[in-house]
Amino acid sequence: MLTVRAVAADSPAARGLLDEYFAMRAAGFPGGAYRTTYPDPAAFVPPAGVFVIAEDDAGAARGCGGIRRIPDGPSGLRYEVKHLFMQPSARGLGGGRIVLTALEAKAREFGAADLVLDTHHSLDAAAGLYASSGFAAIPPYNDNANATRWYGKPLT
């Protein structure tokens, strides 16, 4: 079973997972042009945002993700999901959904009208998770060079 807890985005556990995530994305990114950008820890401090890790029963960090406030959208207050990642050995166990559900709950707690995210079309499992969690394709809301798809979900 996985449990989720909030941590600083620059904590050792978060940094280790982000290092792994960025290395995997850079190694498998089409064209080899992945741009690594570590999150600004201040953007993930409540109520501006939150960063969480998913831990297994032994307390080992197995996944992570965060939300951060971005400029308001057409419906009002908007948060963005960032760096949702599960270690390969922890995939298929529902951990991605556990993390995403926790982040959505936090966004609601912070008063978000919408939750948005960007991703790359090569991440099929992520696209499936987002679709099954109620996210739908939206027009691009940023110029992230690593993204080819944008999704949103109304929370109000």
Residue percentage of the chain with pLDDT more than 90: 78
Residue 50 pLDDT > 80, yes or no? Answer: yes
Residue 82 pLDDT > 80, yes or no? Answer: yes
Q: What is the pLDDT of residue 29?
A: 77
Lowest mean pLDDT among 34-38, 48-52, 70-74, 114-118: 34-38
Per domain, the residue ranges of the chain are: 3-154
Q: What is the 3-state secondary structure (H, E, C) of the chain?
A: CCEEEEECCCCHHHHHHHHHHHHHHHHHCHHHCCCCCCCCHHHHCCCCEEEEEEECCCCCEEEEEEEEEEEEECCEEEEEEEEEEECHHHCCCCHHHHHHHHHHHHHHHCCCCEEEEEECCCCHHHHHHHHHCCCEECCCCCCCCCCCEEEEEECC
Q: Please say whether the structural domain 3-154 has been given the CATH code 3.40.630.30.
A: yes
Cα distance between residue 31 and residue 14, in whole Å: 27
Q: What is the pLDDT of residue 89?
A: 86
What is the average pLDDT across 103-129? 95
pLDDT band at 73 (very low <50, low <70, confident <90, very high): very high
The reported pTM is: 0.93
Mean pLDDT of the chain: 93
pLDDT band at 156 (very low <50, low <70, confident <90, very high): confident
Q: What is the pLDDT of residue 122?
A: 85
Q: What is the pLDDT of residue 127?
A: 92
β-pairing verdict for 76-86 and 114-119: parallel
pLDDT band at 99 (very low <50, low <70, confident <90, very high): very high
